[in-house]
A and B are shown apart, each in its own frame.
Chain A
Amino acid sequence: MNHRGKILTVTVALLGLAVLAPFASAYLILLITQALILGILAMSLDILLGFTGLPSLGQAAYLGMGAYLTAILATHYDFGLGWSFWVVVMLGILIGAATAALFGLFAIRATGVYFLMITLALGMCVWGLAYRWNSMTGGDNGINLPARPEFGIQLADGVTYFYVVFGFFVVSLVMLYILVKSPFGRSLVGIRERELRMRVLGYNTWLHKYIAFVIAGGFGGLAGVLWAHLSGNVSPQVVILATSVDALLMVVLGGPGTLVGGAIGAGVVVSLRDYLSTVVPWWQYVLGGVYVLTILYLPGGLMGIPERIRRRRARSRSPEETKKLQSASH
């Protein structure tokens, strides 16, 4: 599939979702909304993992910062429950980015496993803060938010909130897409492939990685704001390592370096976890099996499936034909 075809497919899929969603049951709409929010988180992580080659295990920290900011502003200061919701969205993005800017100073210098460990540790710091700072975060009990914001439209309505989240999702997708297609995004891919070469070519690779880290944090913060209002309760459980691991697995499942792959992974995980778990008690084995099979047989994730099929077809053809096909596709 060529480039334009891919964009067209994604556009049609999103339009289809927007048109069909209101006809779904209330619970399904809720799950889709949740998948979209986690999709934003997964896409933000994909910038790091898929495009820059930085496997971050601390993405939940930014989600948590956004979510706790929303909850604290709403409960302690009655802020963000009307038009000011949009201010909170901006603040959520800023606090996610600011946290990443701080963490990045420690994390970016490391690579590979060390980067993984440092982001994990920094993520746990945020968890510790949420768990310990009782007067602000309510400790283990967390914070219950009041009803969702209302400004002409009522976000308390499930469908309305879905459309708001959908809007944020589309905007995030477009922005991140523009980012990865920009010269900056290209240089991130260059760093992923061979950092030393990029450095020799005169790129400030540290700065590139740092900026990517901050941007990913910002989108993580956005996901946090939306998550807080979806769930109505923010507790340290949101910030635990499992959330970060989930985000990582969503990206791996969907296909790293594809952006939409993260969103697809989020959709698969949410439907397995929140739908299948209401149907069968052994849903965890299914989820585990899906992870193992993906990693074993689909290194490119679910988004890699079309590519694999194409290659298999090409392999069954004669070498000359394959060559022709390849030159035709370019």
Chain B
Amino acid sequence: MLHRLKGKLGWKLATGCLALGMGVSQTSTAAEELRIGFVAPMTGGFAQVGKDMSNGFQMYLDEVGSNFAGAKVKFIVEDDEAKPPVGVRKAEKLVLQDKVQMLVGGLLASTGYALAPVSTRLKTVYIASIPSADDLTQRQSAEYPYVIRTGWTSSQPSHPFGEWACEQGYKRIVTIGADFAFGYEVVGGFQRAFESCGGKVIQKIWPPLGTQDFGPYIPTIKKDADAIFTLMAGPMSLQFPKQLADAGNKKPVIGGGTSYDEFVLPSMGDEVIGHVSVLQYSAALDTPKNAAFVKKYREKYGKVPSYYSESNYTTAQMIHEVLKKTKGKWPGTQKFIEMLSAIKLDAARGPVHLDEMKNPVQNVYIKKVEKKKMFGYEKEELWNTVIKTYPNVSQFWKYGKTEFLKQPVYSRDYPPCKYCE
């Protein structure tokens, strides 16, 4: 990548001003070229996650030789620095200058949320492979007809997890979640499902995003709780369980997917063994398809794939499936969205298809962190062992679409904390 770019730089700088002035676009519009614009953080604090994302997509392209049923795929990655305004600018560049047929990616929910109107304005498909802001495919879905989600909604895995928590006999739970929209949605979904089967959330703690010292928060956790529900993001995920263990916690710890996903798991210590989390993917999912995926990915990039990689790998696969049907021809934006929405795929994460609001219906896995050997690897490592599968979970869970959409989006104050003391 770097090499290619460096080569380009020579003439680019030389003709830079001229090209700028004339508005030269370097893209040729050959009929069988499929141009995919990929937006992900490549610099800054989230750069490694961004790498996981693009690696997943790239691995699929390499598998098929960048050939989608005759269409040559041009994969253009742009760095959004994990900042929504930068993401918007880069998406505009990809569409206006590189003339991509679709945008893929974005990492943060807020970036996904910012890219959605760009897709509407520029009439370009946007595939949200990671951003999980609920309303993109819920209450505001009508405003963004060009948005398709191949990842998940933040609250989607939380609903079955609430039910699971009831089954464990937990009655009173304290939640501690990162203080931003993604956190509200994950915690909110869990609270709603948990309370509708008889549980009580007795305390909600919101440390700011990027908190490094949980010292002030841990002692405030109510002593009479049955379990702790955590939702961390980024380096917070590593710090919290460590400090919780140091504080002598004996309560069961359960959490949202990003608290224990494969991106953070290899850096974690043994204190997380036994913690239970929930997501639509686990690298330890014991199916032949996933085993092959994990081995191949690990051989290529030297690490276990996270859901960031899997989701983008699967997204590439879904796009390929559409082009197989059109024999490599670009079907046009509208038609592409229709065809992609109709794809049913047996992916590494399990069977996936999209609901009528263009969000995946997929398995949700309850996973327990265990130290063991997996897939024939020699070393004992931490894996997210799947202990229960909820098949074909929709973003509306059991509530039904119309009923679900009547309630406001999950936020810091919704659902209200009825049982907080």
Contact = CB atoms under 8 A, between A and B. Distances in A.
B5 A25 contact: no
A134 B114 contact: no
Given A25-B97, A142-B84, A232 B43 contact: no
| 9 smallest beta-carbon distances between A and B, as pairs | A25-B23, A233-B114, A27-B96, A140-B180, A26-B96, A27-B97, A24-B23, A140-B181, A141-B181
Nearest to B411: A134
Interface of A: 20, 23-28, 30, 34, 134-135, 138-142, 144-147, 156, 231-233, 235, 237-238, 271, 274-275, 277-281, 284
A278 B6 CA distance: 12
A116 B26 CA distance: 45
Contact of A24 (B21, B109, B412): B21
Secondary structure of the B side of the interface? helix
B117 A144 contact: yes
A34 B89 contact: yes
A232 B143 CA distance: 13
Interface string B120-140: 110000000000010000001
Nearest to B115: A233
A144 B23 contact: no
Contacts of B184: 139
Interface in B1-19: 1-2, 5-6, 8-9, 12
Contacts of A277: 79
A242 B363 CA distance: 41
B413 interface: yes
A142 B131 CA distance: 14
A281 B88 contact: no
Given A27-B97, A141-B110, A142-B84, A281 B79 contact: yes
Interface string B275-287: 0000000000000
A92 to B, nearest CB: 18
Given A144-B143, A232-B88, A271-B20, 6 more contacts: A24-B21, A140-B180, A140-B181, A144-B116, A146-B143, A278-B93
A27 B93 contact: yes
Which of the four size classes fits the interface of chain B? 35 or more
Interface in B72-103: 78-79, 83-85, 88-90, 92-93, 96-97
Contacts of A26: 23, 96-97
B79 A30 contact: no
A25 B8 CA distance: 20
A35 to B, nearest CB: 12
A147 to B, nearest CB: 7
Nearest to A278: B93
B6 A280 contact: yes
B413 A134 contact: yes
B183 to A, nearest CB: 9
A280 B121 contact: no
B25 A25 contact: yes
A233 B88 contact: yes
B42 A281 contact: yes
A139 B180 contact: yes
B68 interface: no
A246 B89 CA distance: 17
A265 B1 CA distance: 30
Contacts of B209: 140
A33 to B, nearest CB: 11
A231 B25 CA distance: 22
A290 B109 CA distance: 33
A147 B113 contact: no
Interface centre among A20, A23, A34, A235 (most CB of B within 10 A): A235
B40 interface: no
B79 A280 contact: no
Contacts of A235: 84-85, 110, 113-114
